[in-house]
Amino acid sequence: MRPRRRETPRSGAAATEARSTRYRNLVNPFEPVRIFTEEEVENIHLAAIGILERQGMRVLSPRGRAVLKAGGARVDEATHMVRMDRSMIDAAIAMIPAEANLIARNPARNCRVGGRHVVFAPVSGPPAVSEQSRKHAGTMEDYRDWVRLSQHFDVVHVLGQMVEPQDAPTEFRHLETTFAQLTLGDKVPYFYCRGDGQLEDNFAMLRIAYGIDEARFRSEPHCYTICNTNSPLQLDLPMTDGILKFAENGQLVIITPFTLAGAMAPITIAGALTLAHAEALFGITLAQLVRPGTPVMYGSFTSNVDMKSGSPAFGTPEYTKAAFGAGQLARRIGAPWRCSSATAANAPDAQATYESQMSLWGALLGGCHFVLHAAGWLEGGLTASVEKFILDVEMLQMFAELFQPVSASAEEIGIEAVNEVGPGGHFFAAAHTMQRYRDAFYTPLVSDWRNFGAWTDGGAKTATQRAGEVWRETLAAFQPPPMEPAVLEQLTAFVERRRREGGAPPVS
Amino acid sequence: MRPRRRETPRSGAAATEARSTRYRNLVNPFEPVRIFTEEEVENIHLAAIGILERQGMRVLSPRGRAVLKAGGARVDEATHMVRMDRSMIDAAIAMIPAEANLIARNPARNCRVGGRHVVFAPVSGPPAVSEQSRKHAGTMEDYRDWVRLSQHFDVVHVLGQMVEPQDAPTEFRHLETTFAQLTLGDKVPYFYCRGDGQLEDNFAMLRIAYGIDEARFRSEPHCYTICNTNSPLQLDLPMTDGILKFAENGQLVIITPFTLAGAMAPITIAGALTLAHAEALFGITLAQLVRPGTPVMYGSFTSNVDMKSGSPAFGTPEYTKAAFGAGQLARRIGAPWRCSSATAANAPDAQATYESQMSLWGALLGGCHFVLHAAGWLEGGLTASVEKFILDVEMLQMFAELFQPVSASAEEIGIEAVNEVGPGGHFFAAAHTMQRYRDAFYTPLVSDWRNFGAWTDGGAKTATQRAGEVWRETLAAFQPPPMEPAVLEQLTAFVERRRREGGAPPVS
Q: Any idea how long chain A is?
A: 508
The answer to whether the Cβ–Cβ distance between B436 and A361 falls below 8 Å is: no
Q: How far apart are CA A187 and CA A190, in angstroms?
A: 10
CB contact under 8 A, A33 and B433: no
Q: Is residue A345 part of a domain?
A: yes
Q: Note whether residue A4 is domain-resident.
A: no
Q: Which of B346, B395, B421 to mutate to test the interface with A (most CBs of A within 10 A)?
A: B346
User: Is A40's CB within 8 Å of B306's CB?
Assistant: no
Query: Nearest Cβ partner of A263 from B268, B410, B427?
Result: B427
Residue A142 lies in a domain: yes
Answer whether residue A20 is part of any domain: no
Q: Which candidate from B135, B266, B318 shows the least CB-CB separation from A442? A: B318
* Ramachandran angles phi, psi of B113, nearest 5°: -115, 125
What's the confidence (pLDDT) of residue A358?
98
> What residue in A sits closest to B48 (Cα-Cα)?
A415
Residue of B nearest to A392 (CA): B354
CB A28 within 8 A of CB A118: yes
Nearest chain B CA: its distance from A173 CA (Å):
27
**Residues 6 or more apart in contact with residue B319 via CB below 8 angstroms:** B302, B303, B304, B313, B342, B358, B359, B362
| Cα–Cα nearest to B268, from A300, A441, A135 | A441
A39 is a domain residue: no
B447 interaction partners in chain A (CB closer than 8 Å): 313, 344-345, 351, 355
* DSSP-based three-state secondary structure for B93: helix
Reported residue count of chain B is 508
**Considering only CB atoms, which chain B residues are within 8 Å of A263?**
426-428
Residue type (1 letter), A82: V
Residue A162 lies in domain: 92-402
Cβ of B432 within 8 Å of Cβ of A233? The answer is: no
CA distance A327 to A34: 8
pLDDT means over runs of 10, chain B (508 residues): 35 44 93 97 98 98 98 98 98 98 98 98 98 95 98 98 98 98 98 98 98 98 97 97 98 97 96 98 98 98 91 97 98 98 98 98 98 98 98 98 95 94 94 93 96 96 98 98 98 98 96
What is the distance between the alpha carbons of residues A12 and A447, in angstroms, rounded to a whole number?
Answer: 10
Please report the DSSP string for B164-203 in residue order: --TTS-TTTHHHHHHHHHHHH--SBPB---S-HHHHHHHH
Looking at B258-409, list the stretches that DSSP marks H as alpha helix, in order from N- to C-terminal side.
269-290, 317-333, 350-365, 386-402
pLDDT in tens, A330-350: 999 999 999 999 999 999 999
Q: What is the pLDDT of residue A154?
A: 97
Q: In what order do the strands lie in the sheet with B81-83?
A: B74-76, B81-83, B57-59, B234-235
Listed as ranges, residues in chain A with pLDDT below 70 are: 1-20
Minimum distance, in Å, between the CA of residue A191 and any CA atom of chain B: 25
Q: Are A271 and A50 in contact (CB under 8 A)?
A: no
Q: How many CB pairs under 8 A join A and B?
A: 391
Question: Contact A346/B452, CB-based, under 8 Å?
Answer: yes
Interface mutation target, options B267, B343, B356, B439, chain A, most CBs of A under 10 Å: B267
Contacts of residue A26, Cβ cutoff 8 Å, sequence gap at least 6: A117, A118, A119, A120, A157, A399, A400, A403
Would you call A350 and B463 a contact, using CB atoms and an 8 Å cutoff?
yes
Taking contacts as CB-CB distances below 8 angstroms, the residues of chain A near B35 are 29, 406
Torsion of Cα atoms, A199 then A204 then A207 then A213, to 10°:
110
- The CATH number of whichever domain residue A340 belongs to comes to 3.20.20.480
Neighbours of A453 (CB within 10 A): 9
State whether B440 and A267 contact (CB < 8 Å). Answer: yes
Domain membership flag for residue A506 = no
Instruction: Kindly determine whether residue B432 and residue A395, on different chains, have CB atoms separated by under 8 Å.
Output: no
Task: Give the span between the Cα atoms of A114 and B279, in whole angstroms.
Answer: 42
**A344 within a domain of the structure (yes/no):** yes
How far is B8 from chain A, CA to nearest CA, in Å?
10
Strand A234-235 versus strand A377-378 pairing type: unpaired
| Measured torsion, CA atoms of residues B378, B383, B388, B390, in degrees rounded to the nearest 10 | 140
Number of domains in chain A: 1
Does B447 contact A57 at a Cβ distance shorter than 8 Å? no
Q: What φ, ψ does residue B57 adopt, rounded to 5°?
A: -120, 150
What are the residue ranges of helices labelled H in B185-251? Answer: 196-210, 214-219, 237-248
Contact A235, A59 (CB under 8 A): yes
Q: Is residue A50 part of a domain?
A: no
Q: Is B84 helix (H, G, I), strand (E, B) or coil?
A: coil
Q: Residue B341 and residue B372: Cα distance in Å, rounded?
A: 7
Bond prior to A232 in cis (omega within 30° of 0)? yes
Read off the pLDDT of residues A231-265 as tens digits, 9 standing for 90 and up. Answer: 999 999 999 999 999 999 999 999 999 999 999 99
A350 with B391: Cβ contact below 8 A: yes
**Taking each helix axis from N to C terminus, what angle separates A38-54 and A317-332, rounded to the nearest 10 degrees?**
80
Cβ proximity of B217 and B203 under 8 Å: yes
